């Protein structure tokens, strides 16, 4: 699962506060979870054994909102509770993008792609120009074979990603997969202006240029792909073979 911004989302686990919202009511009471006692070490007194056998109670502080409670639950290993608390948070504050990102990541980690897509779509409805959510949702849609829908998702948030080479490159991929090769050429060129060292992107551009009969452009792009030294052996063979054909 590369969706979704996993490294960024997990960074929020300890460092990103939820979006500011109006003061919310205090939850009705602390959530309590029992942790199994650790067996006492040999040689301890009878009193120590009694003390060690008592269950340890972990309480979620009632002063936290549902998002903060979810972070607390994750830190104490209560993932299912964190799921529920994040859902509660998004019912109370659907504009909380930190909660959106974290819940989507947890859902993906547990194999719940359908609900993760729903959570991301709801987040985008609240903040349409949020590039990382759009890219994550588009990748999920593409994984399900919904290439046209994935491209539409990226197009709707493209204004927030004009300097995001990965975002633009994925739009190029989806354009190719939906038969829009001329558009893919332009998108690959745009992405490579920002990240010219990507050999595989030069190879993709060259292939698209071949498709639209731009022989000179394709030859130049294949040469740049090889010059990048980033292609694997099969990609190098493909580029060299294409170059030989273009030079005939």
Cα dist. 182→48, 90, 164, 178, 211 in Å? 76, 41, 20, 11, 9
Question: Is 77 found in the same domain as 131?
Answer: yes
Any domain includes 42 = no
- Residue 1 belongs to what domain range? 1-12+59-161
What pLDDT is recorded for position 247? 84
CA distance 181 to 211: 7
pLDDT of residue 248: 73
pLDDT at 88: 94
Same-domain check for residues 3 and 94: yes
pLDDT of residue 64: 74
C-alpha triplet 143, 145, 148: angle, nearest 5°: 110
105 shares a domain with 69: yes
Domain termination residue (choose one: 161, 194, 223): 161
Dihedrals phi, psi of 164, to nearest 5 degrees: -105, 100
**Domain containing residue 103: CATH number:** 1.25.40.10
Which pLDDT belongs to residue 16? 37
Is 208:181 a contact under the CB 8 Å cutoff?
A: yes
Q: Are residues 122 and 210 in the same domain?
A: no
Query: Residue 152: what pLDDT?
Result: 98
Are residues 151 and 176 located together in one domain of the fold?
no
Is 81 domain-assigned?
Answer: yes
| Cβ-proximal residues to 9 (8 Å cutoff; 6+ apart), any chain | 101, 102, 104, 105
Give the number of domains in the chain: 2
Rounded Cα distance between 94 and 126, Å, is 7
User: In this predicted structure, what is the pLDDT of residue 207?
Assistant: 97
Collect the ranges in the chain with pLDDT lower than 50: 1-58, 62
53 is a domain residue: no
Write down the pLDDT at residue 67: 92
Answer with the one of 161, 187, 212 that is the final residue of a domain: 161
Picking from 161, 188, 221, the residue at the C-terminal end of a domain is 161
């Amino acid at each position: 699962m590369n969706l979704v911004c996993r490294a960024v989302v997990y960074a929020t686990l300890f460092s990103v506060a939820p979006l500011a919202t109006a003061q919310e009511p205090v939850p009705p009471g602390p959530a309590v979870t029992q942790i199994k006692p650790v067996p006492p070490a040999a040689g301890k007194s009878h009193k120590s054994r009694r003390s060690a056998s008592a269950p340890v109670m972990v309480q979620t502080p009632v002063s936290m909102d549902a998002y903060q409670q979810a972070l607390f639950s994750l830190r104490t290993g209560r993932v299912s509770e964190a799921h529920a608390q994040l859902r509660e948070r998004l019912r109370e504050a659907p504009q909380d993008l930190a909660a959106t990102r974290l819940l989507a990541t947890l859902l993906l980690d547990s194999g719940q792609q359908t609900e993760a897509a729903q959570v991301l779509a709801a987040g985008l409805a609240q903040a349409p120009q949020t590039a990382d959510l759009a890219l994550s949702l588009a990748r999920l849609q593409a994984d399900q074979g919904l290439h046209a829908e994935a491209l539409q998702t990226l197009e709707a948030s493209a204004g927030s990603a004009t300097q995001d080479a990965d975002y633009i490159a994925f739009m190029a991929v989806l354009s190719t997969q939906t038969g829009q090769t001329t558009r893919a050429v332009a998108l690959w060129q745009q992405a490579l202006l920002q990240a010219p060292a990507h050999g595989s992107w030069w190879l993709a551009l060259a292939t698209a240029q071949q498709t639209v009969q731009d022989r000179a452009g394709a030859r130049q792009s294949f040469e740049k792909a090889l010059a990048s030294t980033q292609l694997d052996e099969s990609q190098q063979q493909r580029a060299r073979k294409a170059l030989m054909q273009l030079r005939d």
